[in-house]
Structure 1
Amino acid sequence: MTKTFVLVHGLFHGSWCWSKVCKRLIRAGHRFFNPTQTGLGERRHLLSPKVGINTFIDDIVNLIIWEDLQEMSLVGHSFGGITVSAVADRLRNRIRHLVYLDAAIAQDGHCFYEQLPEQNRAQRLANSQLVKGTRCFMPTPASSFDITDPNDIAWVERHLTPHPVKTYLDPVKMSKPAGTGLDCSYIVCCEPIHPSFSLSRQWAKAQENWEIKFITTGHSAPITDPDIVGDILINLS
């Protein structure tokens, strides 16, 4: 059976970061959509002070509606988990499986910034810069995403783009807790464990009927271990 996946990227990234996973999905006969969020990647020309978390949510909601997608697996990696949480809240009836890949989970009325370890919050904001009049977090070295292969490091660092701070500070509006009424899975990349998502991991583990899986990869598994990620997504869904 052909399955449909919507793959949502994280901080600094774009559709490109899923390209290796997409090759695995193609080989298995599935279809996918891997959109880039407004202001990032090949859409960096759209960066503006207005780009916030609702922009990111609308990006994915509109993709799903205009492509008339049904019975899909919605996958959020890293910061992309915030986006997919709210998308699933709006379009619950269109989603077959909600997957968090080492990702943040949104809570109604709260922003992702609140989930960061307290010692990291002020430092991140202090290191932000103005880009086209927009306050942005600036890309960090690929090694900070647990990438070690020199070819992957060079490829990733060519593609990373500034990320609008507003998406971190905007509270997310949701009608119900994340994943309500859906089949949900949380995949933990455990070598090493990424500290930014500790609260989300704890919340996921406390939910009844959520499937929790551990894979022995770093946080950038879609780049460093795409076949592992592709296979687990196919088997989960």
Structure 2
Amino acid sequence: MTTYVLLPGFWLGAWAWRPVTAELRGRGHDVHPLSLTGMGERAHLARPDTDLETHVTDVLNLIRYEDLHDVVLVGHSYAGAAVIPSVADRMPDRIARLVFIDSGPLPDGMSQAEFTPPEDQARNAELVRTVGDGWRLPPPPWPQLAADAFELSDDTLERLTRLSAPQPWATATTPVRLTGAWEKLPRLHVLCSFGVEEVRARAAAVPAFRHMAGEDWDHRELFGWHWPMFDRPGELAAILHEAG
């Protein structure tokens, strides 16, 4: 049996992991999908000062109060980039492996917002200002984003639209603070948007990708949508099972 903690990216809660959670539990594992503060069933707790530190504390407290050890800590998108390295940096003795789902760790001092291209930064900031009351990033138009994900059902798109919550913008603008302790842990990269060779090329050329260079990474390619828990949940669960 392996202990998993599953963290979703922007706009999503623990509900997004439901098929993956069911598959892993069916294989006998201990699985903890977590809705970070302000997301999912905890959407009512969102505040303008809900930031990356809040989300890191969410995970640290789950591990501490549930007395979890040898955790396979799984982060999708934002949670992979910012949350799981920060958690592992502070509590490396409780983590067995880090799994980055279509994501990679931000370097110390960089925020999630800074990682996006300048035009995306400007567009998101304008959405926060005009639609998000100055502190929330609204969910994207899911049917439009999913236009090329042919395996998504109408029910899945309906759930995405109905259950997604605005993302507290401070979670995107808070820079990560890392000492490097997390880098001693085994790491798995599940690639959906591009392959291993492109990751290695970017790591060599772009400073922000430097943590993805080297031979201490394991890689699995699962090409499809950026959100594989929706279009390929069974295959994603199988990869996580193998990682455990």
Q: TM-score, normalised by structure 1?
A: 0.90
Alignment pair present for 1:64 and 2:63 = yes
- Look up the match of 1:100: 100
| Percent of matched pairs sharing the same residue | 29
User: What does residue 187 of structure 2 align with?
Assistant: 184
- Shifted more, 98-107 versus 204-213: the winner is 204-213
Quickly say closer, same or farther: Cα 1:90–1:154, change in 2 above 3 A: same
- The separation in 2 between residues aligned to 1:20 and 1:201, in whole angstroms, is 32
SS at match of 1:234: helix
Q: How many residues end up aligned between the 2 structures? A: 231
Cα deviation code 1:94-122 (max 9, x no counterpart): 11111000124122111111110222110
Which position in structure 2 is the counterpart of 1:210? 217
Write the distance in 2 (CA, Å) between the matches of 1:106 and 1:38: 21
Give the equivalent residue in structure 1 for 2:47: 48
Aligned-partner residue type, residue 116 of structure 1: T
1:232 maps to what in 2?
A: 239
CA deviation vs aligned residue, 1:157-200 (integer Å, no higher than 9, x gap): 110000011111111111117x41111011110379xxxxx769
Report the equivalent of 1:121. Answer: 121
The one-letter code matched in structure 2 to 1:84 is: I
Q: Does 1:136 align with 2:136?
A: yes
Establish whether residue 21 from structure 1 lines up as the match of residue 25 from structure 2: no
Query: Which consecutive unaligned segments of at least 5 residues does structure 1 have?
Result: 193-197
Unaligned runs of 5+ in 2: 196-201
Higher normalized helix content (fraction of residues): 2
Conservation of the 8 A alpha-carbon contact between 1:4 and 1:31: yes
Q: CA 1:191–1:203 in 2, change beyond 3 Å: closer, same or farther?
A: closer
Shift of 1:67: 0.6
Quote the Cα distance in structure 1 between the aligned partners of 2:51 and 2:237: 29
Moved more, 168-177 or 25-34: 168-177
Give RMSD over aligned pairs: 2.3
Q: 1:211 deviation in Å?
A: 0.8
Aligned equivalents of 1:20 and 1:57: distance in 2?
A: 24
Determine the C-alpha separation between the residues in 2 that align with 1:208 and 1:77. Answer: 22
Q: Which range is displaced more, 102-111 or 82-91?
A: 102-111
Alignment of 1:134-213 (within 5 A): 135-143=135-143, 144=145, 147-148=149-150, 149=152, 150-176=154-180, 179-190=182-193, 202-213=209-220
Name the CA distance, whole Å, in 2 between partners of 1:44 and 1:7. 18
